[in-house]
Amino acid sequence: MPTLFVVATPIGNLSDISERAKATLASVHTVLCEDTRVTGKLLFSYQIKVPMMSYHQHSGQIKTNKVIELLEEGHDLALVTDAGTPAISDPGGKLIEELLGHFGDTITITPIPGVSAVTTALSIAGVSADEFLFLGFPPHKKGRQTFFDRVAGVKSTVVLYESTHRIFKSLEDISKRTPERHLIVCRELTKMYETTYRGTASEVTQMLQSTSIKGEFVIVLGPL
């Protein structure tokens, strides 16, 4: 039975990819990717020429069946996300679950480890990461208040993702519940304009209001 390689890719700086990841991507029959345009640029930068097939949160059963068909034909595949480690706050986890349900123990799923925004942010946070809770992106509407109520009640370190469009709203939601809690907010990790902000939610909000807020954010709430 062929192998599905779950390959971590850089979250910004292209030098962060491993030699093993590049060799794996170059060796497979097809690369399954969140966005073929994003992955296409990545592969081009490493001079890797292999077919790509999109697989993302809106991919239905037809696309999953195509992946199963390729594996049944004996082809090795690689799964990547736009940035970071697949299946971490990413629909790749659902594909792996489906393949395990279909093939059982006959399929080999091999991780090719690398960068993840969660661990990258925690490594510079300066707070205890012996125990932490990762909750991904907060809900946009339904369940949002319940989500932040839960965050406020967790005594250990908590890690969240947030987008440019909702970072101020999330900081406001945190400030309402735990105004004195220490935060570390990382913007554009490993990229040219990488910035780290430290303070309470209201203090970080003031810092962000005086600078650019473009990019993706990782919010680390220190332990209580």
Q: How far apart, in whole angstroms, are the C-alpha atoms of residue 80 and residue 91?
A: 10
196 φ/ψ angles, rounded to the nearest 5 degrees? -120, 130
User: pTM of the prediction?
Assistant: 0.91
Segment 95-131, tens digit of pLDDT: 999 999 999 989 999 999 999 999 999 999 999 999 9
Q: Spell out the domain ranges in the chain.
A: 3-112, 117-221
The answer to whether domain 117-221 has CATH 3.40.50.300 is no
Q: How far apart, in whole angstroms, are the C-alpha atoms of residue 2 and residue 109?
A: 9
Segment 63-105, tens digit of pLDDT: 889 999 999 999 999 999 999 999 888 778 889 999 999 999 8
Cα separation values, 199 from 129, 134, 196, 217, Å: 18, 20, 10, 15
CATH topology of domain 3-112: Cobalt-precorrin-4 Transmethylase; domain 1 (3.40.1010)
